[in-house]
């Protein structure tokens, strides 16, 4: 790790100089050390040590704030528990803020006075990013996205070849030679986005969504230039880089004159582009942005597609991605979809906005140095899944899918992990068929 310099300290502290930022000032100064947050945190539940309590993280960043920004902290640091930024504190703060927090935010609703703890962890990461202490493994994914426009460095030619291959498959699947995956079409209702892991390694979810768009008769397109819904700079806390990545997608949506951007099933990507993006770019979007989950629920609600729950009879449970459910407030839509698309849906406990993080959020999947911790926090999720008795675990987030896949093997769960689009595509009724059930008349 690079040595701390005066210049680095100065840059880092700019993030904490709350000045007129009332939110930062309030949250840095409000923790009453009640300890209620402890048992809401997957790290503390997996490793019951004081350093993993969310309040400890709050205390760490507040103590640095006090040391450099407040009068008493500057004059009598020992009296107010103010701490100096030195090489030792940097190691500690990097380990706790990058390596022991998924920014899942579960501690926030559990805080007795409402301190936005994950916001403070983000501020801490932002400070570390300013000082150049983002873990290399995480930075490498960001660099690839900045350089190539997608976080796996897929070339445009490779991407197009993959989509053509999937298009052949789609035509066979829906038995229609005119079915297609539209590329770079201007003026469509929807521009769809992807997580690059889909074209690279896991394209079943692209096929699923293409099939659904086809059956719904949607006017949509994919861009071959810029389709990446992820933004790992949201995780690193480097707002400048997060802004550049946001701008890439923003420009392409404008270029293709799409009315609505539909985000891939990606928790942090939804948060970064839809909810943080306008802040990164300091402007409102002139187009609509919604998540895949919302558009799928709308299709079913409006009757644009029909689903038949008899097609999926195994027991299905749902994992809520933190960024979508807890911070984005999107938790009803996935339930609306599943209750109509599968025969036997069971909830895990807790769920919805109180759900446990899978352990793979906050960039943890990219940072292999913290792998052991990630598997240990993930064990809580594995046990949640096991208790449901479900055979299929659905989650509208590719990052969660990857963590759950690893948990499935490590803890021998014997389940299948699927995205929501895959479930809908499996239960969808082809356009020319009608659903007939015992108690219902034929739906037209």
Partner 1 sequence: MPTIEIDNRTLEVDGDGFLSNPDIWDKEVARLIAKYDGIENMNDKHWAVVNIIRRNFEEKGMAPMIRTICQETGLRLREIYELFPLGPARGACRIAGLPKPDGCV
How many residues comprise the chain?
444
Q: What are the residues facing 222 on neighbouring strands?
A: 183, 192
Residue of 373, 424, 382 whose CA lies nearest to 404: 382
Smallest gap from residue 298 Cβ to partner 1 (A): 26
Indicate the SS3 state at residue 183. strand
Q: How far is CA 51 from CA 36, 93, 109, 153, 360, in A?
A: 14, 11, 20, 37, 20
Binding mask 396-435 for partner 1 (x = CB under 8 A): --xx--x--xx-xx--------------------------
Stretch that binds partner 1, among 35-43, 47-55, 161-169, 384-392 (CB under 8 A): 161-169
Smallest gap from residue 265 Cβ to partner 1 (A): 11
Stretch that binds partner 1, among 21-29, 102-110, 126-134, 191-199 (CB under 8 A): 191-199
246 sits near partner 1 (criterion: CB under 8 A): no
Smallest gap from residue 144 Cβ to partner 1 (A): 5
Q: What is the DSSP letter of 258?
A: -
165 sits near partner 1 (criterion: CB under 8 A): yes
133 sits near partner 1 (criterion: CB under 8 A): no
365 sits near partner 1 (criterion: CB under 8 A): yes
Stretch that binds partner 1, among 67-75, 145-153, 282-290, 298-306 (CB under 8 A): 145-153
CA 347 to CA 335: how far, in whole Å?
Answer: 9
Stretch that binds partner 1, among 111-119, 121-129, 192-200, 233-241 (CB under 8 A): 192-200
Smallest gap from residue 408 Cβ to partner 1 (A): 8
CA 444 to CA 408: how far, in whole Å?
Answer: 41
CA 131 to CA 187: how far, in whole Å?
Answer: 43
Smallest gap from residue 226 Cβ to partner 1 (A): 16
442 sits near partner 1 (criterion: CB under 8 A): no
Binding mask 24-63 for partner 1 (x = CB under 8 A): ----------------------------------------
Q: How far is CA 15 from CA 24, 68, 117, 337, in A?
A: 10, 12, 16, 42
Contacts of 47 (CB under 8 A, 6+ apart): 373, 376
CA 136 to CA 121: how far, in whole Å?
Answer: 19
CA 28 to CA 433: how far, in whole Å?
Answer: 59
CA 167 to CA 15: how far, in whole Å?
Answer: 47
- If the CB atoms of residues 61 and 138 are measured against partner 1, the closer one turns out to be 138
172 sits near partner 1 (criterion: CB under 8 A): no
Q: What are the residues facing 200 on neighbouring strands?
A: none
11 sits near partner 1 (criterion: CB under 8 A): no
Smallest gap from residue 164 Cβ to partner 1 (A): 9
Q: Is-contact 353 331, C-beta < 8 A?
A: yes
- If the CB atoms of residues 200 and 335 are measured against partner 1, the closer one turns out to be 200
- If the CB atoms of residues 56 and 399 are measured against partner 1, the closer one turns out to be 399
- If the CB atoms of residues 136 and 440 are measured against partner 1, the closer one turns out to be 136
Smallest gap from residue 305 Cβ to partner 1 (A): 24
203 sits near partner 1 (criterion: CB under 8 A): yes
Q: DSSP readout, 393-419?
A: EE-S-HHHHHHHHHHHHHTT---EEE-
Reading across the β-sheet that carries 288-291, which strands appear in turn? Answer: 220-222, 190-192, 260-263, 288-291
204 sits near partner 1 (criterion: CB under 8 A): yes
Q: Which helix (H) or strand (E) holds 125?
A: helix 117-131
Q: What are the residues facing 315 on neighbouring strands?
A: 344
Of the candidate residues 371, 431, 433, 437, the single one contacting partner 1 (CB under 8 A)? 371
Q: What is the DSSP letter of 264?
A: P
Binding mask 84-123 for partner 1 (x = CB under 8 A): ----------------------------------------
> Which positions lie near partner 1, rule CB under 8 A?
137, 140-141, 144, 151-154, 158, 161-162, 165, 195-197, 199-204, 230, 266, 365-372, 398-399, 402, 405-406, 408-409
């Amino acid at each position: 790790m690079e040595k701390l310099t005066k210049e680095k300290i100065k840059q880092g502290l700019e993030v904490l100089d709350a000045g007129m930022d009332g939110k930062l000032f309030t949250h840095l100064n409000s923790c009453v050390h009640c300890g209620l947050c402890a048992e809401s945190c997957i790290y503390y539940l997996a490793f019951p040590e004081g350093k993993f309590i969310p309040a400890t993280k709050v205390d760490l960043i507040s103590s640095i704030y006090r040391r450099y920004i407040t009068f008493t902290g500057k004059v009598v640091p020992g009296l107010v528990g103010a701490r100096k930024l030195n090489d030792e504190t940097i190691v500690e703060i990097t380990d706790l803020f990058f390596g022991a927090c998924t920014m899942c935010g579960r501690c926030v609703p559990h805080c007795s006075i409402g301190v936005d703890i994950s916001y403070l962890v983000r501020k801490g990461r932002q400070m570390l990013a300013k000082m150049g202490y983002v873990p290399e493994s995480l930075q490498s994914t960001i660099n690839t996205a900045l350089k190539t426009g997608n976080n796996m460095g897929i070339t445009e030619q490779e991407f197009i070849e993959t989509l053509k291959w999937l298009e052949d498959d789609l035509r066979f699947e829906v038995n229609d030679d005119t079915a297609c995956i539209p590329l770079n079409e201007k003026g469509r209702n929807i521009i769809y986005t992807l997580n690059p892991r889909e074209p690279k390694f896991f394209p079943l979810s692209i096929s699923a969504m293409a099939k659904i768009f086809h059956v719904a008769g949607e006017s949509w397109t994919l861009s071959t230039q810029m389709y990446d819904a992820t933004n790992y700079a949201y995780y690193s806390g480097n707002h400048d880089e997060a802004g550049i990545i946001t701008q890439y997608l923003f420009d392409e949506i404008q270029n293709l004159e799409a009315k609505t951007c539909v985000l891939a099933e990606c928790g942090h990507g939804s948060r970064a582009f839809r909810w943080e993006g306008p802040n990164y770019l300091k402007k409102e979007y002139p187009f609509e942005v919604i998540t895949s989950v919302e558009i799928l629920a709308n299709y079913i609600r409006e009757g644009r597609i029909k689903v038949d729950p008899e097609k999926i009879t195994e027991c299905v449970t749902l994992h809520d991605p933190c960024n979508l459910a807890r911070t984005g407030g999107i938790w009803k839509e996935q339930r609306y979809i599943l209750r109509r698309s599968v025969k036997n849906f069971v909830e895990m406990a807790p769920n919805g906005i109180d759900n446990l993080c899978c352990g793979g959020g906050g960039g943890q999947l990219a940072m292999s140095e913290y792998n052991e911790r990630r598997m240990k926090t993930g064990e809580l999720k594995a046990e949640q899944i096991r208790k449901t008795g479900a055979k299929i675990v659905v989650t509208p987030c590719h990052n969660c899918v990857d963590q759950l896949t690893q948990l499935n093997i490590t803890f021998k769960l014997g389940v299948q992990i699927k995205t929501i689009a895959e479930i809908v595509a499996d239960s969808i009724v082809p356009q020319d068929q009608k659903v007939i059930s015992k108690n219902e008349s034929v739906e037209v």
